[in-house]
Amino acid sequence: MLPPLRFHKPKSSRKNTPSAHSFKKFWIKFDQHKFKIEGLGAWYHHWREPYHLLLNIPWKYFIILMSIFYLVLNGGFALAYFFAIDGIENAIEGSFSDAFFFSVHTFSTIGYGNMYPTNLYTNILVTVEALVSILGIALITGLAFARFSQSNAKILFSDVVVVLPYDNVPTLMMRVSNQRKNYILEAKIRVYLMWDEVSKEGDFFRRVHELKLLRDHNPTLAMTWTVMHPIDENSPLFGVNIDTLKRKKAMLLTSLPGIDESIAQTMYARSYYGFQDILWDHQFQDIIYHTADGHRYIDLSFFHRTKPLDSELS
């Protein structure tokens, strides 16, 4: 008869505390203002994936990195030319600078004609460097174009979410606005509720509910859009109060894809809201104003402002 299996947990596993030097862990932080995921989406976490790193790294670091790549590559070939400086016509013997600038001329296909290879060894190096330069310039050009061609959304989400009656039904509302002076075509928004739950078996997990919206599609998003979710008996928020949301570490995730009309590319935008960002019995301040001659205009300076419901509305 086989002995029973025994599992021994190391002492360090009793507390699920991430190590400070870990690059594969994220930290979920709930403070009194915002829900934050530390380390998520930061460009320096792509260091093991060079392509994603070079697409997400800030422009100044991209230029610095490409400059270092250019100088190191030319310096390596210059060192190889230096040991055969007599194979370069008009190059000063023992001059590393002449070898370096000859490498730059070859790499960039400048070819001024004052220095040129004269023996088999140097010609082989020139051939190899010419091939490397074609690949290197194509790589740098492709990365620069990919960075320029990325579609970055300029979508403004309201800082908070409000809950107020709409058609006699408590309704969760948030504001969305396009900050560019163009159209976002076929915009479709989704709102997800994420909170902690415990199953009947006692297993803890974080569950995601998609909230049903009164209108989740906008054919041409040009100005503002008030997104509304009715809190009825079919809503996971039905009968929930702020204490429940706080206990369950609730948060809202908003996702908005669409087509940028100017460049005809798909763009994406998202926003997070913590349970402290949900204001009950509040309403957004009006941002649409009417002039005396019958025109209407939008003042986005009041985009995030809210106020408590009037007594007759509450």
| Mean pLDDT, each 10-residue run in order, the chain (314 residues) | 43 42 44 49 65 85 92 94 88 90 91 88 93 92 87 86 92 91 90 88 87 92 90 92 89 92 86 91 86 78 87 42
Q: The pTM is what?
A: 0.66
Please report the pLDDT score of residue 313 as a whole number.
42
Cα gap 208→275, rounded to integer Å: 15
Please report the pLDDT score of residue 197 as a whole number.
87
Please report the pLDDT score of residue 208 as a whole number.
92
Selection from 271, 273, 281 nearest residue 252 by Cα: 273
For 58-148, CATH number out of 1.10.238.10, 1.10.287.70, 1.10.3720.10, 1.10.10.60 equals 1.10.287.70
Pairing status of strand 282-284 against strand 184-188? unpaired
Pairing status of strand 282-284 against strand 224-230? unpaired
CATH number belonging to domain 155-308:
2.60.40.1400
What is the domain partition of the chain in residue ranges?
Answer: 58-148, 155-308
Selection from 173, 186, 258 nearest residue 218 by Cα: 186
Please report the pLDDT score of residue 181 as a whole number.
81
Cα gap 299→277, rounded to integer Å: 23
Please report the pLDDT score of residue 201 as a whole number.
80
Please report the pLDDT score of residue 209 as a whole number.
93
Please report the pLDDT score of residue 32 as a whole number.
46
Please report the pLDDT score of residue 44 as a whole number.
56
